[in-house]
C-alpha cells in the first residue's frame, strides 16, 4: 500500500479505526460522567446505559447478563474515582515497560571509542558564513581556537532574533544561560580541557524538554508558565558534553503539528507553509542556520515530517536508546528523542552524547552506539520496500449517471492535485534507487508484513489520553489552540471509549508486527524507504531506528502547492522545496544505519543545500 501519511492526519484516521472494538466499559463510564455533569452526586450506571453502550459497541447483552453486569460496573467506576484522586503527573509512567526486541534478539553493550571523520574548516571573513556548517567543521574551528564559543553563540542568537519574526521557531531564547556556558567553554578550551566535538556548539531543545530556570510550555495554551526544577537528562548530557543551549524551540501543542500557542512555525524554504511537526522549531531553526543542531522527539512522525519539510537530517533512534526523563510524555511505548542536524555524522555525534541508561527511564537499555565514520558501508546488505516506489493505482471512475455536488467536485479536484504531487515526488524516490545502484549497492526487493497497523496506532492516542487525563476532566483542554475533530481535545475524549481489553489486544498484534518486521533484517542490514509512507507507522510501532536525509529540491515544473497548508499533507511541496529519503535499520544498529546514510549523503551532497533567507 502506498499512502500519504503525516502524524496529524494518520492520528485522525487511526483514532476512528479504534472504534471497531468492544467499547463497553469506557462507553458506560463516559455516559455516566456526562449524566453526572448535571448532578451533584455520582450517577449510578443503569440498565439503560448498558443497553446504549452495547448498541454503540455493536454487541448483544441479554437482560440476564445486563443485570449481572450492573454491580460490577458501578464498583469499577468507584475504582476509577480512587485513581483519579491521586492526580497523577505527566511524569509518572505506567508500571510496564515496552520492549521492541523480538524473542531471541541480543544487544551489543560493548562500548568502543568513536571514530569521527577528519574535518578541516577554513575561517571565513564573515563569521555568519559558518551558519550552515556541519558539526565536524564547527568543532574543528573551536578545537583549534580559530573562533570562540562566545562568538558562535552570539552569532546564532542574533540569527534567532532576526529570523524568528518570520519563522516563529523559538518559544524562549535562553541567552543568559547560553552566554554563561559559552564563556565557560572558552575558558576550558583555552586551558586544554576539550570535551569533544560538541564543546562550545550552540543548540536548540524542543520545548517539551525541561530546563531549570526557564518555562517548558509543551507548545500548549494553559502551559505557558509551566516550569520544572530539574533539567531533562538529555539537557544534562549535552551540558556535560560542553554544548551551549541557546533556545527552547517550538512544537505543535502537546506534540501535534506545527501550530502552537504563539502561532505557526514556518518552513524556511517557503514561509507560506508550516514547517510540519511536531518538532517544528527544531527542524526550522536548524534549516535556517540558527542553531548548530537541535533535539526533537518522535512518536509518530515528529522528527521525520519536519525534517522532510525543512530539508534537514533527522535521526529517530531505536526505542529505548535515549532516556526521556524530563521530557513530556505523550505515549510511553512510542516516544523517542533524537537529533535534527544538517548531516548524518552530526546526528551520530549528538546521539553519542545522549544515549544510554540514566537510572530513571526504565525503557532504556545498556546498548552501545559505536560510531565509526570509516565503517565499510559497502559490506552492508541493503533492501528496499518495493511497494513504496511503485506508481499508485488510479481511483475508480465516477459513475456519470450520478451527479456530483459542488463539495464532491472540490474533493475530487483536491485528490487529483494531491495525486499529481505524489506522482511528481516519486521521481526523486526512483532517482535515489538509481543513485544507490550506481554506488555499487545491490538492492533486494522487500515487502512489508501484511498487518492492520492503522488499528494498532490507537495505542498511541489511548496512552496520550491517559497522559493528559486531567486536561480532559478539568475542561482545560479548551485552552488548546486547535479544536477540530482531528485535534487532541476531541481525540482524548474519543479514546475514553477505548477499553483495556482492546488496548491489550492491539499490543498483542503489535508483537506480531515487531516479530515479522524484524525478520526483514535477517535478510538485510539497511532498508531504503519512501519517507511519507506506511513504513512511518510500522517502524514507530516496532521501535526500529530511522535516518531521514534530504533528497534534493523540487524543480520549477513541480505541481503548485495548495493555496492553504492545512497541515494534513507533508507532500504539498511546490517548486524549490525539499524532498527526503528514509533509511531504516535493525534495533540498536543505529551506528551501522548512520554509516550507510552518510555514504548516500557523501555521494549526493543534498545536505549542503540550504534556504536563501532575506
Provide the annotated active-site residues. 206, 278, 302
Q: Phi/psi of residue 257, each to 5°? A: 70, -160
Determine whether 75 is exposed, middle or buried from the number of CB atoms within 10 Å of its CB (0-12, 13-18, 19+): exposed
| Residues 496 and 472: beta-carbon distance below 8 Å | yes
Identify the helix (H) or strand (E) that includes residue 201.
none
Q: In this structure, is the dihedral angle defined by the CA atoms of residues 562, 563, 569 and 570, taken in order, positive or negative? A: positive
Assigned C-alpha cell, 156: 546564532
Q: Cα Rg for the chain, rounded, in angstroms? A: 25
Identify which of 345, 322, 331 has the alpha carbon closest to the alpha carbon of residue 458: 331
What gap in Å lies between CA 487 and CA 257, rounded to an integer?
Answer: 9
What gap in Å lies between CA 297 and CA 445, rounded to an integer?
Answer: 30
N-terminal to C-terminal alpha carbon distance within the chain: 41
Q: Phi/psi of residue 347, each to 5°? A: -60, -40
Assigned C-alpha cell, 308: 522532510
Q: 278 preceded by cis ω (within 30°)? A: yes
5: Cβ–Cβ under 8 A, 6 or more apart, which residues?
301, 532, 533, 534, 536, 537
Phi-psi region of 502 (alpha: psi -120 to 50; beta: other; left: phi over 0): alpha
Assigned C-alpha cell, 581: 529519503
Buried b (16+ CB within 10 A) or exposed e, 412-433: eeeeebbeebbebbbebbeebb
> What ranges make up the beta strands (E) of 363-433?
382-385
Beta-ladder partners of 293 = 203
**Residue whose C-alpha cell reads 491489550 in the numeric block:** 504
| Residues 57 and 28: beta-carbon distance below 8 Å | no
395: Cβ–Cβ under 8 A, 6 or more apart, which residues?
415, 419
Neighbours of 240 (CB within 10 A): 13
Which segments of 277-332 does DSSP mark as H helices, in order? 280-287, 304-310
| Residues 446 and 522: beta-carbon distance below 8 Å | no
**Residue whose C-alpha cell reads 463497553 in the numeric block:** 24
Amino acid at each position: 500500500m502506498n499512502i500519504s501519511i503525516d502524524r496529524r492526519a494518520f492520528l485522525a484516521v487511526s483514532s476512528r479505526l479504534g472504534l471497531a472494538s468492544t467499547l463497553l466499559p469506557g462507553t458506560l463510564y463516559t455516559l455516566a460522567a456526562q449524566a453526572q455533569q448535571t448532578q451533584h452526586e455520582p450517577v449510578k450506571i443503569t440498565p439503560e446505559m448498558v443497553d446504549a453502550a452495547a448498541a454503540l459497541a455493536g454487541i448483544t447483552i441479554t437482560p440476564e447478563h445486563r443485570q449481572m453486569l450492573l454491580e460490577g460496573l458501578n464498583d469499577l467506576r468507584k475504582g476509577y474515582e480512587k485513581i483519579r484522586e491521586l492526580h497523577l503527573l505527566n511524569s509518572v509512567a505506567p508500571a510496564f515497560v515496552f520492549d521492541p526486541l523480538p524473542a531471541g534478539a541480543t544487544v551489543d553493550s560493548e562500548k568502543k571509542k568513536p571514530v569521527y571523520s577528519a574535518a578541516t574548516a577554513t575561517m571565513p571573513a564573515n563569521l555568519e558564513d559558518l551558519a550552515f556548517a556541519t558539526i565536524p567543521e564547527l568543532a574543528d574551528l573551536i578545537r583549534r581556537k580559530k573562533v570562540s564559543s562566545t562568538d558562535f553563540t552570539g552569532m546564532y542568537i542574533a540569527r534567532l532574533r532576526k529570523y524568528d519574526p518570520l519563522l516563529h521557531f523559538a518559544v524562549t531564547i535562553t541567552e543568559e544561560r547560553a552566554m554563561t556556558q559559552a564563556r565557560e567553554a572558552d575558558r576550558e578550551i583555552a586551558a586544554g580541557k576539550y570535551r569533544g566535538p560538541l564543546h562550545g556548539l550552540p543548540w536548540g531543545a524542543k520545548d517539551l524538554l525541561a530546563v531549570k530556570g526557564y518555562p517548558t510550555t509543551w507548545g500548549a495554551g494553559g502551559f505557558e508558565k509551566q516550569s520544572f526544577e530539574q533539567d531533562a537528562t538529555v539537557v544534562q548530557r549535552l551540558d556535560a558534553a560542553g554544548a551551549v543551549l541557546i533556545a527552547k524551540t517550538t512544537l505543535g501543542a502537546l506534540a501535534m503539528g506545527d501550530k502552537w500557542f504563539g502561532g505557526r512555525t514556518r518552513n524556511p524554504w517557503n514561509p507560506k507553509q508550516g514547517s510540519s511537526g511536531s518538532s517544528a522549531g527544531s527542524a526550522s531553526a536548524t534549516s535556517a542556520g540558527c542553531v548548530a543542531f537541535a533535539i526533537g522527539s518522535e512518536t509518530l512522525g515528529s522528527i521525520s515530517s519536519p525534517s522532510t519539510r525543512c530539508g534537514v537530517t533527522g535521526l529517530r533512534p531505536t526505542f529505548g536508546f535515549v532516556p526521556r526523563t524530563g521530557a513530556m510524555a505523550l505515549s510511553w511505548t512510542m516516544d523517542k528523542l533524537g537529533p535534527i542536524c544538517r548531516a548524518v555524522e552530526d546526528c551520530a555525534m549528538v546521539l553519542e552524547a545522549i544515549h544510554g541508561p540514566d537510572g530513571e527511564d526504565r525503557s532504556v537499555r545498556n546498548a552501545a552506539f559505536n560510531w565509526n565514520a570509516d565503517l565499510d558501508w559497502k559490506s552492508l546488505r541493503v533492501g528496499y520496500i518495493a511497494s513504496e516506489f511503485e506508481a499508485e493505482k488510479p481511483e475508480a471512475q465516477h459513475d456519470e449517471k450520478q451527479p456530483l455536488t459542488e463539495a464532491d467536485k472540490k474533493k475530487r479536484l483536491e485528490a487529483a492535485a494531491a495525486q499529481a504531487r505524489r506522482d511528481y515526488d516519486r521521481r526523486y524516490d526512483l532517482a535515489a534507487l538509481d543513485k544507490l545502484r550506481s554506488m555499487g549497492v545491490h538492492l533486494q526487493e522487500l515487502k512489508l508484513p501484511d498487518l492492520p497497523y492503522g488499528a494498532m496506532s490507537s495505542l498511541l492516542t489511548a496512552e496520550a489520553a491517559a497522559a493528559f487525563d486531567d486536561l480532559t476532566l478539568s475542561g482545560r483542554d479548551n485552552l488548546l489552540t486547535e479544536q477540530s475533530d482531528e485535534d487532541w481535545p476531541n481525540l482524548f475524549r474519543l479514546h475514553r471509549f477505548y477499553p483495556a481489553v482492546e488496548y491489550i489486544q492491539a499490543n498483542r498484534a503489535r508483537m506480531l508486527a515487531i516479530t515479522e518486521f524484524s525478520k526483514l533484517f535477517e535478510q538485510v542490514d539497511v532498508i531504503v524507504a519512501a519517507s511519507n509512507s506506511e513504513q512511518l507507522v510500522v517502524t514507530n510501532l516496532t521501535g526500529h531506528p530511522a535516518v531521514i536525509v534530504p533528497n534534493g529540491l523540487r524543480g520549477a515544473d513541480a505541481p503548485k502547492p495548495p493555496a492553504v497548508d492545512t497541515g494534513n499533507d507533508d507532500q504539498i511541496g511546490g517548486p524549490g522545496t525539499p524532498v527526503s529519503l528514509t533509511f531504516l535499520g535493525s534495533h540498536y544498529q543505529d551506528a551501522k544505519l548512520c554509516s550507510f546514510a552518510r555514504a548516500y549523503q557523501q555521494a549526493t551532497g543534498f545536505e549542503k543545500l540550504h534556504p536563501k533567507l532575506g
